[in-house]
A and B are shown apart, each in its own frame.
Chain A
Amino acid sequence: MTAAAITAQSGTPAILPARGGIVGALSDLFWRRPKFLLVLMLLPPVLWLGVVYLGSLLALLLQSFFSIDEFSGMINREFTLKTYGELLLQSNLDIIIRTVTMAALVTIASAFIAFPIAYYAARYARGKWKALFYLGVMLPLWSSYLVKVYAWKLILAKEGILTWLLEKLHLTWLLDAWLSLPIVGGNSLSVSFTGTFIVFVYVWMPFMILPIQAALERVPGNLIEASSDLGASPKQTFSNVIFPLALPGIVAGSIFTFSLTLGDYIIPQIIGNSQLFIGQAVFAHQGTAGNIPLAAAFTVVPIVVMGLYLWGAKRMGAFDAL
């Protein structure tokens, strides 16, 4: 059934005869009933994500309403809120507060480091430099997560490059003073919250740059001109025009940094002290302890926190900046 064959017949009817064969029949069916094609295309991905992903997610959430029998260690399959009550124990509350605080600090620090890079890339870099900036952000963002963590293990080690550098600059006393502080200090950087914080910022900060850059690029140039025409100093233009328009980008980027820090359990395990984060608590409870209900209840915390966060972000218009 080629085009030539059709045009060869003079006075072709407006409605062509049905095509022959299974392929032709299917083809006609797709054209006459677009809904059928739609369902056919949607079925595999929706089945996969719905069954594999949502199914197991719901199964997990269901288990958070079970409880564990303290004596036998068996899981008691009756509906109870007892496991959620356990979350409110002081030690577990500490874990939650610690993780959320860390995620918030990492997000703020990432915004501060990411903003100048995004600002330069969006407003000053042109042509080849623009491509270079883009790759300069994309390559670290996509490089292996574990290798990045490993690199920081090398840097923060006592015999590593950071100690060496501070020694050369005669600043060792500064590091010692910082490490002797409570909470943020420790025996060395690689076993302190400071170390955990630095690595978190390093690993998740690139996710902040691209949304901010996208938001800044959408700031119309004539708005900035108008602002300076009306007598605003560059500082005023920045704080009254550019920054408010870039804010949705920052919020969009913060979704990534916040969510990724919230669920991470590998970075605090490798670089940090023995105090747990939510991810580590989940890992510990589902593993050796076998307390799946408590682990499940712990995973509900990041889901709820992220839900609230996304709701707030949506109200600030962050999704348009994604």
Chain B
Amino acid sequence: MRSDRQQRSPLGLKIAAGVGLLFLHVPILLIFVYAFTTEERTYQWPPPGLTLQWFAVTWNRPDVWDALKLSVQVASISTAIALVLGTFCAAAVSGSKFFGREAISLLVILPIALPGIITGISLRSAFSLMEIPFSTWTIVLGHATFCVVVVYNNAVARFRRTSGSMVEASMDLGANAFQTFRYVILPNIGTALLAGGMLAFALSFDEVIVTTFTAGQQQTVPIWMLEELVRPRQRPVTNVVAMLVVIVTLLPILVAYYITRDGDQIAGMGK
């Protein structure tokens, strides 16, 4: 952007930025150390010794596996729903101007603009009013609602850069609407959808605030962790699960970053 010669940054700024980034990263790195500690009952630092045994213990815990299975299931279904709804909405909003367009983009953003607890408690009271029992689907209902916005943000940015004349050209050359979608639109928005889907998956996999209201007795991984945080039972297992959760959520983010880095910024802000 700047045309002038590269200036050197002031030392104070460098230090402030560096300390700020350290503040963001050190706590997460600590989690990786604690996963190997031999200490069982306290959060003692420095760790008295290092061991791999807690990985084996965690591997043999059925409750961890059950939680993981439910989380993956919920995140997959919610992502699929969000992909369909988010793409439709983005296509409609970016393709034409119509009355109420602003209202629709507001409607999509609302579930993450308002605090999660509001979404959670309104869904819960709606379930109890309509006497819907808690199930995987009640969790999905909540997750898909706030995942739509992530897909929508990514897709809308890409639709804006995709020229409408390509669609017209495809139609002129005799392709029908479905062929145009398959061969012209989809290849253009594919990576944006993939990135949006990845972020939606990570968002759903990690969600706890809405989930506590919509899960009933079921445990997703974050609910399992919350339970351990409030009433610690076996701290080393929690340490290992925490480390695994960091890895599982970071991978999709990195992939999403690499597939969209050449284009527009991924719409990661405001989860």
The interface of chain A, by Cβ under 8 A from chain B, is 1-3, 5-6, 19, 23-24, 26-27, 30-31, 34, 37-38, 41-42, 44-46, 48-50, 52-57, 59-60, 63, 113-114, 116-117, 119-121, 123-124, 126, 131, 133-155, 157, 159-161, 164, 202, 205-207, 210-211, 217, 220-222, 225, 255-256, 259-260, 262-266, 269-270, 279, 282-283, 286, 292, 295-296, 299, 302-303, 306, 310, 322
Question: Which of A19, A44, A48, A164 meets B176, CB within 8 Å?
Answer: A19
Q: Are B31 and A286 in contact (CB-based, < 8 A)?
A: no
Q: Is the CB of B229 within 8 A of A159?
A: no
Q: Which secondary structure dominates where chain B touches chain A?
A: helix
Chain A contacts for B250, CB-based, 8 A? 139, 142-143
Could you give 23 example pairs across A and B, Cβ below 8 Å?
A5-B174, A6-B174, A38-B95, A44-B88, A45-B85, A50-B107, A53-B119, A54-B107, A56-B122, A59-B129, A135-B254, A147-B246, A148-B28, A150-B238, A150-B242, A155-B27, A159-B42, A207-B269, A256-B270, A263-B114, A263-B118, A279-B117, A299-B117
CA distance A155 to B257 in the complex (A): 30
Instruction: Indicate whether B222 reaches chain A with its CB closer than 8 angstroms.
Output: yes
Decide: B24 and A116 in contact? CB cutoff 8 A: no
B166 contacts A by Cβ under 8 Å = no
Chain B residues bordering chain A, tally (CB within 8 A): 90
- Complex contact B24–A140 (CB within 8 A): yes
Given that A48-B145, A59-B126, A150-B225 are contacting pairs, would A124 and B16 also be in contact in the complex, using a CB cutoff of 8 Å? no
Contacts of A49 in B (CB 8 A): 85, 107-108, 110-111, 145, 148
- The answer to whether A159 and B45 have CB atoms under 8 Å apart is yes
Q: How far is the CA of A31 from the CA of B176 in the complex (A)?
A: 9
Whether B2 pairs with A146 at a CB distance below 8 angstroms is no
Q: How far is the CA of A217 from the CA of B197 in the complex (A)?
A: 28
State A59–B269 Cα separation when bound (angstroms): 30
- Given known contacts A38-B98, A164-B46, A207-B270, A306 and B245 CB-to-CB distance under 8 angstroms: no
- Contact string, B144-169, partner A, CB cutoff 8 A, digits 1/0? 11001000000000000000000000
Q: Is the CB of B118 within 8 A of A42?
A: no
B208: which A residues are within 8 A, CB to CB? Answer: 145-146, 266
Q: How far is the CA of A42 from the CA of B253 in the complex (A)?
A: 28
